[in-house]
A and B are shown apart, each in its own frame.
Chain A
Amino acid sequence: MTTPPRAVSLRGVEKRFGDVAAVAAVDLDVRPGELMVLVGPSGCGKSTLLRLIAGLEEATAGEVWIGGRCVDNVAPGDRDVAMVFQSYALYPHMTVAQNLGFGLKVRGASREDIGRRVDDVAALLDLAGLLSRRPGQLSGGQRQRVALGRAMVRDPGVFLFDEPLSNLDAGLRLRTRDEIAALHRRLGTTMIFVTHDQVEALSLGDRVAVMDGGRLQQVGTPHEIYRRPANLFVAGFVGSPPINRLPLSRGADGHLAGGPFRFAGDWAFDEATLGVRPEDLGADPEPTGALPGATPADFKTTVLRVEALGSEQRVHLDGPAGAAWIARVSPALEVAAGDRLAVSVAWDRGHLFGPDGARVAAPPCPIPDLRT
């Protein structure tokens, strides 16, 4: 594999379908050799963005740059990108070998050249025994590999994946995810990978771009995305079980208050939302906060339900402001619905979001509530 990895850069890219803005003012830089994951809920414009990069859609505004040149007027086939479709889009009337070689054939590569490269890719993806079959005679996973091979055989500067794993069963999806990660390490090619599965996004991406409503919400490493979500949407979208929320509002004393907690400070807004990840909650039958960073400002509550998942327990709690919270605790903890628990919060890992949803800061430690 000889082509150097390409950088991809979107500058103010916008795509409207009539009145619908499928993609709005997206600026995104993908570094050469990087595996960038686009993640977001269904209909947020991920596929559209990918198709804009591939050249299958024309941007309403903005520019797409690949490998240091503006490709707005370059046909999809000349952009040095390859794409794997969610449906795989294998040509049903061609054999696997013909499917793999199609891109080379239409470019006028010589027969020997095509044969050699098809064989290389087939060996790499373990497709050698299937070359003379047609897509209709393959399993879902095999089709997926053929689709992958069809992209690889042309040795492109950028790989585009549109939810390539969503048609696979859970086990195969995990395996294929690892294979793609391994492939990326090995080829070192730039890859842009679309998924709506945030676990997949975090596990696979060098960096992750979270989208919603056609806009980029945050671009960052998985750690940044998870630990420092730029806004309430990212915080809520990434993480399973979802982040626990507590609405706050300014009380008579000027502090932000919600449930048993009051946060002293010079706040520029009257409403805010507190977010705490389930693993940042400590639960203990003994009301002595044992979690690092926990303060005595715990709260006591009732267990609503327990999900014992084996490696962890998810404890549904009667939250501090009525809505249920979920705590992720060690399976060693013996707890059952109806038990009383003392819950501690790792405040330095919590998030405070302003009224517009943007993250403000980690909340300070609340003022102990004298009522409890």
Chain B
Amino acid sequence: MSRPPERTDGGLPAFLPAIVTVAFTAGLAVILLSAAASVNGARERATKNVARMAANLWEIPGAGADAVAQLLGERATIEAVPADGGAPRTRTEPGAYGYRPGALDPSVWIAVASDPDRAPPPRPTTPLALLGILLMIAWTARRRRRPPPPRYPAATLLLAAAFLALVALLAARRAHHELEAISAAHLAHGIRAAEIAVTSGADPTRAARAAGLPWGTTAALADPARLWTMPRAVSEAIAALPPPLRTAPTSTLQAGGATYHIAQTTLPPNTAPPTQSPTAPTPAPTTLHLALLGYEETASPTVPLTAASAGSTLLVAIILSLLPLSARPRALRRTLAAWGFLAPAATLLLVFTFGPLLFSLWISLQEWHLVDPAHPFAGLDNYRNIILDTAWWSSIRNTAVFTLHVPLAMAVALALALLTQGSRRAVRWARLALFLPSITSVVAIAVVWKWLLNDGYGLVNQLLARAGIGPVPWLTSPDTALASLMLISVWMVVGYQMVVFQAGLAAIPRDWYDAARVDGAGPLQRFRHITLPGLRHTLFFVLVTSVIGSFQVFGLVYVMTEGGPLGATDVAVYHIYREAWEFLRFGNAAAMSWVLFAVVFAATWLHFRFLEGRRAHA
């Protein structure tokens, strides 16, 4: 009996090649648009900053309109506020920002147009993208004439992926070029504004900050007494610059973990910085160094462009993978339905699990500082740093020692599980009591134990004193603190482990015990030969999950000891936390997280290998 062949023309299958083209085109569009968006955004922010800078200059006594004109020339217009008071405008027209200087002179607007010289140059990327789209349309047309063969068009995918990557790369390079130019112009404006502020006797730091260049700082090297707010490290670094650099009009400098842009300005003899010695004869001219913390464009297009090209490649790959199925519409429909159901969960997984994971990997390759918008690529520097960091390794060692509480907890839990089998009322209550810590907030537990273990008034030491045992420095001595935490941790996890063990025990057939009894095995032999082997999967499960959990211990340490005393309880996750949120070194912290991940992964893998080796049977 032969069935008529399934129709391949018409319906969704026929449109698959076209959908591939649409996805490809959309990917290209997203790449180009996001590159353009990041450049436009940067330009707009820079314009806004310049407008702010100009408004700030306007307020400096003795600067005013002249200074603004000096700084911005044609770009700035100064207009009177409309008579009716007008609503405060920030944005006046596309590419221009209006700014009303603060309280001093509320009667004017300063509007700054975006730099007319820096209109977007023609993009060679766009024709390239159009070419790709044309090729794709040609491919579609060919597909529609001939039914697709039932195999995966890998070559097409490779070409499409390469094309998307190429366009993304070119777009990123162009965007970077323009961003750098914007950044340089911005920096020049900032330096200029600071100079004007200095010559007008105002605070250049404020001027720089108004320009969006954080922590602008100046120092007159000739006279260290005239130091404003320049950190000692920076002024020392400037002093240590080799002469050609020190006398260059601008240079960059690494100091204190940040990049400073140094500009040199020569004060005219008739002006003086606002120092406290009006009587002293002003040496003229003075050379002044302005050090501005480097301005870097935060909206780096790399991440969105990578995401756009990877995302559209994935999309194209998925649609292409449906092509072989298009000869069998029913299978295609089923596959589509399956993906339809999977899509929400898969998206969540991608966005909230793999996304952050990859992002932290990305951070770990950068010098990432929370308040510094600049995060230059650091390669493996962070990893090198932490490998050389003894404090990090000592926290890893503390974590490893802490993990030794797991076998102890498991032994106790197993003993309790054996003791609390059955369903007598007392046993049920005991089980409940033992399980309670597992469902209690770790912070609550930690607070209570911290109180119980207090050296002076803690209940434990008071009881020990009754028994004539001297006060034990549970949490205050480097010798005992980690051990105390381990004991508390044992107390915390024993209930949960016990319940898991009981489930495991219940799954061991009674016949095995009966057979062993008839065979003459005593209680210990039955435990050794029946219970333990019967529990081996349970034991393994508890071991692995508990070891992973103990590598991630944080709350207990955070609340009870804060890593102390003397770093005795500084465990890995707590160390990472401090690295990130106290020292604000996110790059390092992310790298540490990945090292910790590698350690945990290796430990788990070893566990599995060990078990595989001992588990040849079913």
Which residues in A have some Cβ–Cβ distance to B below 8 Å?
51, 54-56, 75-78, 81-83, 85, 87, 89-94, 102-103, 106-107, 134-137, 150, 154
Contact = CB atoms under 8 A, between A and B. Distances in A.
Interface stretch (B343-351, B473-481, B525-533): B525-533
Contacts of A107: 520
A81 B518 contact: yes
A54 to B, nearest CB: 6
Given A87-B509, A87-B511, A91-B533, A106 B618 contact: no
Interface string B479-519: 00000000000000000000000000000010110111111
Given A89-B509, A93-B533, A77 B518 contact: yes
B522 A106 contact: yes
B525 A106 contact: yes
Nearest to B617: A134
A134 B533 CA distance: 14
A135 B618 CA distance: 9
B439 interface: no
Contact of A103 (B512, B520, B536): B520
A85 B514 contact: yes
Interface string B296-324: 00000000000000000000000000000
A136 B617 contact: yes
Nearest to A82: B518
B616 interface: yes
Interface residues of B, number: 21
B515 to A, nearest CB: 4
B521 interface: yes
A82 B520 CA distance: 10
Given A134-B617, A136-B617, A77 B519 contact: yes
B517 A75 contact: yes
A159 to B, nearest CB: 11
A51 to B, nearest CB: 8
A31 to B, nearest CB: 22
Contacts of B530: 91
A77 B517 CA distance: 6
Contacts of B514: 51, 54, 56, 76, 83, 85, 89
Given A134-B616, A134-B618, A137-B617, A91 B518 contact: no
A128 B335 CA distance: 52
A75 B523 CA distance: 11
Interface in B315-356: none
Interface in B562-618: 616-618
17 contacts: A75-B517, A76-B514, A77-B519, A77-B522, A81-B518, A89-B512, A91-B515, A91-B530, A91-B533, A93-B536, A102-B519, A103-B519, A106-B519, A106-B522, A106-B525, A136-B618, A154-B519
A102 B618 contact: no
Given A103-B520, A106-B516, 19 more contacts: A75-B520, A76-B514, A76-B517, A77-B519, A81-B518, A83-B518, A85-B515, A89-B509, A93-B533, A94-B529, A102-B521, A102-B529, A103-B518, A106-B522, A134-B618, A135-B617, A137-B617, A150-B519, A154-B520
A291 to B, nearest CB: 50
A85 B521 contact: no
A110 to B, nearest CB: 16
A164 B536 CA distance: 28
B617 A56 contact: no
Contacts of A81: 518
Given A134-B617, A134-B618, A137-B618, A91 B517 contact: no
A102 B516 contact: yes
Interface in B526-556: 529-530, 533-534, 536
A210 to B, nearest CB: 25
Nearest to A95: B617
A54 B520 CA distance: 11
Contact of A91 (B529, B536, B616, B618): B529
Contacts of A135: 617
